[in-house]
Structures are given as structure tokens and as C-alpha cells.
Amino acid sequence: MTDTIPPTQLYLISPLDVWGDFPARLERALDAGPGLVTAFQFRVKGIDQHEAAALAEPLQAICAARDVAFIVNDDVSLAKRLKADGVHLGQGDGDPRDAREQLGREAQIGVTCHGSRHLALEAGEAGADYVAFGAFFPSTTKETEHRAELGLLEWWSEMVELPSVAIGGITPDNCGPLVEAGADFLAVSGAVWNGDEGAAIKAFAEQIAPA
């Protein structure tokens, strides 16, 4: 890859299992596409905050060394404890204004907006730094109650300056239309972690460049 920033970048979401050799896998993924992965979301479930913080520490260091934003999923208090770069909020995870108050002006705050212009505009008014739309495709990572259409990305990119993240079942084979529709970031998880992470990142790079 060249040093130029690709038109769409990757927002990498962790699998639920980040034990064992996962730090080495994260290093391989980030090093396979320098400049392509711009953020990493730490997403774990069913463990206490102390254990989550211990798991996050080496991953956060790997991201910091590569200038990749470290974002915590759902949990503002964990993000504050870790001094993470930001937090991603689902619709039931609190108000971006409250997250901003706790995490500070520099924090990156994202909000899941499903397939809704209204929710996305509300999130923007509440101070979100980006909005996430999806699912665009069936996902193996989590159940998808909501679906989003390409037209939403096109409308958003033309009408609103706030960055958009496309999410849901995105693979190297199907990502092209999302890039063309104006998605600023592609949130990817299973397509990377269910196989060879380095090869997957390189495959995304090959598809994003011509799109």
C-alpha cells in the first residue's frame, strides 16, 4: 500500500474471545494493512471489569504503537478506567452527552443507528463523532435485528459531514458497493478473525483501493 489514506478505512471489532494468542493475531492484522485499519473496538461480554481491563491492556498497547484508536464497546466506565480513545454506544447504552462528560472532549464517541436517519441525526446533535449503520449483510458475529440500505449511506455522505461506519456481515467480496456508496469506515470482525487475519486484511485492501 502507499502512504495515501484509502477512501474507506477499516474499523476492526474484536471477537468475544481475546484470550491466548489474540494479541499476536491483532498485531498481524494491523501490520498487514498499515494505514488501512484506523480503529479497533474491544468487545467482550460476561466478564467483570477487572478481568476486562487486564485483557485490554496488551491490546491497547498494540494499537497505541500503531496509531490505531482503541475504542471500548458499550461500557463508558471501562473506557474511562482504561483511558481509552473512545467508546461505542448501542441505542440502549446511554447518551453521548453523558459519555462526553465522563470521557472528555478528545474521546471518540460512536453510536449505533441501525438503518435510521432520525437516530443518526439525533446522535450527531448529541455530539457523536461517528454513526454506525447496519446490518448491511447477515452477520455471523451477532444477531441482526435491523437492516440498512445502500441508499442510506449515499444520502448520509452527501448531506452530513459526520463520518459513517457500515457494519454487518462485511467481507472482501461484498464491501465494494459500501465503499462506492460513501461509507467512511467498514466495521469488520468475523471476516478477519474466522480465518487468516493477515490475508483477510490484505484482501480488504485490494478491494477498497479500486472501489
Domain boundaries, the chain: 9-208
> Which CATH superfamily groups domain 9-208?
Aldolase class I (3.20.20.70)
Nearest to 109 by CA among 96, 126, 98: 96
Residue-level pLDDT at 4: 59
How far is CA 13 from each of CA 102, 133, 173, 190, rounded to the nearest angstrom? 23, 15, 18, 9
> 3-state class of 23 per DSSP?
helix
Q: What pLDDT band is residue 159 in, cutting at 50, 70 and 90?
A: very high
> pTM of the predicted model, to two decimals?
0.95
Mean pLDDT of the chain: 95
Report the distance separating Cα 38 and Cα 200, nearest Å. Answer: 16
Span 137-166, average pLDDT: 90
Per cent of the chain over pLDDT 90 is 90
Residue-level pLDDT at 6: 74
Paired with 39 in beta bridges are 11, 69
